[in-house]
Amino acid sequence: MLDKKRACFAVAMAIAFVMPGLLMVQGVRAETVSWTVALYVNADNDLEANWDDDSLPMLESIPANADLNVVAMVDRYSEDGCDLVEITYGNSQVVSSYSEKNFGDDATLEWFITQMDTLYPSDNLAVVIWDHGGGWKWVSWDQGDDDDIYMPELNAAIANAGVYIDVLVFDACNMAMIEVIYEVSLTGNVGTFVGSQESVPLDGFPYDLMLTPVAQDTSRTPAQVAVDMVDGFETYYDPLSFTEVALAAVDVATITNSFGTIQTWTDEMYDHVGSYAKAYATALRASHAAWSTSEYVDMADLGENLLAQSKITDPGFRTATTNMVALVDDSVIAQWGAEKCLDARGFTIWFGVRWGFNWYAEQYADDCSFAADTSWLLFLEEYD
């Protein structure tokens, strides 16, 4: 009887080696690799075709490496349920299916992160949130459930999962904002942030160009992988006709460790709004902003343009602004912007005056830890 058991076990292990999803489904996949890239694919909306036509083929073009897992949890608009997909060079395979889930809910994102950590253990984890994005307002719109992930939910999902994410990536519009970076920094579970100040074209991220370097050399560090992603984005989009595209990689710890510098700057902006309001308006008009509006304004470029105003003479204000710009530049480890984004320096801050501050002021107060922990909301209320 013992020999038969051993024989059955050997057969089962041989099958599982050929079909790794079998071990995954049983929850006993234990081998640890260097890297796992896990995509949270909310295609339960009008982007479903872009997953199949653009993102998935690019992922299937990444060179195969046994020391790299590339996996995606995919929720579709046209089908109930969601699928766990393992992706290798030239192939993708559904290895497990689940009941319908709301991908606009933090509980689902938390479940996803813990599942990826359990089923695909690795020394380094990159999590990609794939869908529409609205900056600090929301990300991951699930049309079927008419729900989005708001900033408190994003924070809760990452914090409650308790899994360290070496590189958190947003293949979604406008997510490179100080409000978003600060929100994820509060979890203590994110090392490097990759996101765009601008809209992301429907082609999405060129995953083959972004991730081929780590597929060829899995000893690459999280910072190197984040830089690779920005470089791959530039390689793909630079020859094309898009003029308002940008991508940045940010070291979250640099922001966390020196956040007092940003708090001091917001204090100075608020304290001097009465005397420098016109100079603020001039600096704002000169600064790079997403979509060429004043709503999402590049922080470092805004700071440089404030310093260029001769009417701003207060030494404390100037020192605080200089220190803020230096901090932003120190935290950004890679940045690229197309023709209309040459002044983009990494990430934006909400300056929602032109689109109507009152439309979003209450949500900003309720949903942004940045609003609670700095004087920026007080400044916006006074400036508006």
pLDDT at 30: 53
Rounded average pLDDT over 278-283: 96
Band the pLDDT of 354: cuts 50, 70, 90.
low
* Each residue's pLDDT tens digit, 11-65: 333 333 333 333 344 344 559 999 999 999 999 999 999 999 999 999 999 999 9
* pLDDT at 237 > cutoff 90: yes
What does the domain layout of the chain look like in residue ranges? 31-252, 257-330+347-383
By percentage, how much of the chain surpasses pLDDT 90? 88
* Each residue's pLDDT tens digit, 286-335: 999 987 566 899 999 999 999 999 999 999 999 999 999 999 999 999 99
Which CATH number describes the domain made up of 31-252?
A: 3.40.50.11970
The 3-class secondary structure across the chain, one letter per residue, is: CHHHHHHHHHHHHHHHHHCCHHHHHHCCCCCCEEEEEEEEEEECCCCHHHHHHHHHHHHHCCCCCCCEEEEEEEEECCCCCEEEEEEECCEEEEEEEECCCCCCCHHHHHHHHHHHHHHCCEEEEEEEEECCECHHHCEEEECCCCEEECHHHHHHHHHHHCCCEEEEEEECCCCCEHHHHHHHHCCCCEEEEEECCCCCCCCCCCHHHHHHHHHHCCCCCHHHHHHHHHHHHHHHHCCCCCCCCEEEEEEHHHHHHCHHHHHHHHHHHHHCHHHHHHHHHHHHHHCCEHHHCCCEEEHHHHHHHHHCCCCCCCHHHHHHHHHHHHHHHHHEEEEEECHHHCCCCCCEEECCCCCCHHHHHHHHHHHCHHHHHCCHHHHHHHHC
Least confident window among 28-32, 45-49, 112-116, 217-221 = 28-32
pLDDT at 356: 67
